[in-house]
Structure 1
Amino acid sequence: MSRATLAGLGAMLLWAFLGLLAKLAEGIPPLQVTALGMGIGGSAALALVLVRGQARRLRQGGIAWLHGVGGLFGYHALYFAGLAFAPAVEANLLNYLWPLLVVLLSAPILGMPLGGRRIAGVALGFLGCALLVGSGARFPAGAMLGFACSTAAALVWGLYSVTARRLSAVPTEAVAGFCLASAALAGLLHLLFETSVMPDARQALALLLMGLGPVGAAFFLWDIGMKRGDPRLLGTLAYGIPVASTLLLLAGGFGEPSWRLALAAGLVTSGGVLAAKTARKQA
């Protein structure tokens, strides 16, 4: 396995902790979480870029900025809103439709054929998510808004990831600028629409770890992995994230194990593996 592919794997390992850290920061409004987390990650990355004398790599065209800020800000604002309004485990699993959407969106956006097995894989993923929120499932009032946000987050990240292939010339260092711009946008919207909350010690630590890891270093590792590593292998491994993330949430006490949850996680992961294996065979 190449170093670049290992970098992509590192990003996925960090993302597995995002749901748990977000719940540990619970009580902080979603846009404030987005602003603080991405501000920490972007600031750390900018410092590294400046120390290396690579500030010129932040100068990118408007399309690159629109893509980077739209993807990073849009995804995380929706993701944190989903966790704020809906049960954590179910909202987190819905969010991890994005690997399946990457496969599905590759056809209309990149012109890649789907094939029967890929379509079957996507169908399994959606079946698993439908099982979570379908008939017989009981959730508190307002949960559907959270589920809608989580599903929208998956769509945004799927679009961001697929369209990134058309912007492969954009250097990884530019992500530092995208993070800081996303943090500024989230901060502005937070001041307009939310009430600020002073983090306590637990929330502050969770935000710090989030900014340095899943909402910081993970972006750069993923960018390296997708541009220089083996995307087929990374695509296969990505479907383990929802299981790992769900287990971490359960271990942290944010949710109750159930047959519905186990079956849904199995369907989402199996669908992703089926789609990814098909892609590897046809590559």
Structure 2
Amino acid sequence: MARQEDRTPSRVLRDGAAPAAALAFAAGAVALWSTNALVGKSLLENHPVSLVQFLQFIGAALVFALIRLKRRAPIHLLPQGEKGRPVSNLAAFAVGFIGLVGTMVLQYIAFASMPVIEANLVAYTWPLMVAAALIVLDSPRRPALLGVTAALGFVGVALVISGGREQSLFQGNLVGYLAAFGSALCMAFYSIFVGRVATPPDRFLLPSAAAGVVLTFAWCLYDGVAWQAGTYLIAGLYLGAGPMGLGYYFWSRALKLDRGGKVAVAAYLTPIASTLLLALSGETLTMTAIAGAVLVIGSCIAVGIEGPEAGNHA
């Protein structure tokens, strides 16, 4: 006789609780990430990027250490409802290092090298990159539609870059634009692979943050940073503990608990909220760049809706 599907009350509760928890974690990540560009902009006006990054990685490392101490779970076990496959410690660390250190360092180099509102929009093309990867890796039901949607988003990026503040190409410098695009690539890589490994996120985010502390401390020494007490310390540690630390942990948990790709849609609220906050703070875009921003954000939302649907029919 075939084994009947387990439909006990506890199993039903777990099946229903996982998507709800995934959405809650995703909403928390988006709320924190939305403040990243605004707080980062205010710090970079008076402090070098190396110091801001050093404070960030300290804050993130402290958060991940506290989570790790509280959790103390064996590496081969997953919390109920989480998914993934076992991988080596080195592979898990690579996912964390590229996703955390690569994304954040390149993003803040971009923030320091070009208008923050433009860097933020370019850096948040990572959902479009995930969509492109989905076409290759997961054989979606409507790859052409997904590809066109992603392509429109990259057209928007071109408009943001070419239609900056004075309608001339590259208002920042080439390094800044390349850094923003590289940051998006790193975050796309992280979002694709973090949900596919069984290692709990604190296992690879903590050593990645620790590596970030060491690297950015060396960067500060190279820059000859002057160490002074001030309120900037609190803001820098917030960026580390909030958007970087809790933001990454919440997003990692959301991707592991997600069933059907529904939390992806929540991620695309980040460029909307962060761009709005930057606009309220006085950052401006030309009409051309605004049109590009609409394309980027609209494409992200469309990809978020189409991506999970396509994945469910793969």
Query: Which consecutive aligned stretches of 4+ in structure 1 deviate over 4 angstroms post-superposition?
Result: 55-58, 139-142
Q: Structure 2: which 5+ runs fail to align?
A: 1-18, 77-87
Structure 1 residue aligned with 2:92, among 64, 72, 76?
64
2:170 matches 1:151? no
* Higher Rg of the two aligned structures: 2
- With the length of structure 2 as denominator, give the TM-score of the two structures: 0.80
State whether residues 264 and 308 of structure 2, in contact with CA within 8 Å, keep that contact through their aligned partners in structure 1: no
1:8 maps to a residue whose letter is A
State whether residues 103 and 275 of structure 1, in contact with CA within 8 Å, keep that contact through their aligned partners in structure 2: yes
State whether residues 135 and 146 of structure 2, in contact with CA within 8 Å, keep that contact through their aligned partners in structure 1: no
Cα drift, residue 61 of structure 1: 1.2
Structure 1 residue aligned with 2:275, among 243, 246, 254?
246
2:32 matches 1:14? yes
Which residue pairs with 1:112 in the alignment? 139
> C-alpha distance in 1, partners of 2:260/2:210?
27
Structure 1 residue aligned with 2:233, among 196, 200, 204?
204
2:263 matches 1:234? yes
> C-alpha distance in 1, partners of 2:113/2:228?
19
- Residues 95-141 of structure 1 show CA distances to partners (whole Å, capped at 9, x for unaligned) of 11011111112333x34336111111111111111001226733786
State whether residues 37 and 274 of structure 2, in contact with CA within 8 Å, keep that contact through their aligned partners in structure 1: yes
> C-alpha distance in 1, partners of 2:63/2:304?
34
Cα drift, residue 273 of structure 1: 2.1
Cα drift, residue 94 of structure 1: 0.7
2:157 matches 1:129? yes
Cα drift, residue 215 of structure 1: 1.0
- Sort the Cα spacing of 1:280 and 1:39 in 2 relative to 1 into closer, same or farther, 3 A: same
Cα drift, residue 230 of structure 1: 4.4
State whether residues 55 and 233 of structure 2, in contact with CA within 8 Å, keep that contact through their aligned partners in structure 1: no
- With the length of structure 1 as denominator, give the TM-score of the two structures: 0.88
Percent of residue pairs identical: 26
Cα drift, residue 67 of structure 1: 1.9
SS across alignment from 1:112? coil
SS across alignment from 1:275? helix
Which residue pairs with 2:216 in the alignment? 186
Which residue pairs with 1:36 in the alignment? 55
State whether residues 86 and 142 of structure 1, in contact with CA within 8 Å, keep that contact through their aligned partners in structure 2: yes
Which residue pairs with 2:110 in the alignment? 82
- Sort the Cα spacing of 1:166 and 1:208 in 2 relative to 1 into closer, same or farther, 3 A: same
> C-alpha distance in 2, partners of 1:57/1:220?
16
> C-alpha distance in 2, partners of 1:63/1:104?
23
CA RMSD of aligned residues (A): 2.5
Which residue pairs with 1:45 in the alignment? 64
Which residue pairs with 1:278 in the alignment? 306
- Residues 223-274 of structure 1 show CA distances to partners (whole Å, capped at 9, x for unaligned) of 1100003462221222221121111112122x22432232122101111222
> C-alpha distance in 1, partners of 2:224/2:170?
23
- Sort the Cα spacing of 1:53 and 1:241 in 2 relative to 1 into closer, same or farther, 3 A: closer
Q: What count of residue pairs does the alignment treat as equivalent?
A: 278
Cα drift, residue 164 of structure 1: 2.2
- Sort the Cα spacing of 1:247 and 1:177 in 2 relative to 1 into closer, same or farther, 3 A: same
State whether residues 83 and 146 of structure 1, in contact with CA within 8 Å, keep that contact through their aligned partners in structure 2: yes
Which residue pairs with 2:6 in the alignment? none
- Residues 171-190 of structure 1 show CA distances to partners (whole Å, capped at 9, x for unaligned) of 13212232222222232344
Which residue pairs with 2:168 in the alignment? 138
Q: Structure 1: which 5+ runs fail to align?
A: none
Cα drift, residue 200 of structure 1: 6.1
> C-alpha distance in 2, partners of 1:140/1:274?
27
Question: Which has a greater percent of helix?
Answer: 1
> C-alpha distance in 2, partners of 1:257/1:92?
12
- Sort the Cα spacing of 1:230 and 1:199 in 2 relative to 1 into closer, same or farther, 3 A: farther
1:215 maps to a residue whose letter is M
> C-alpha distance in 1, partners of 2:273/2:171?
27
SS across alignment from 1:25? helix
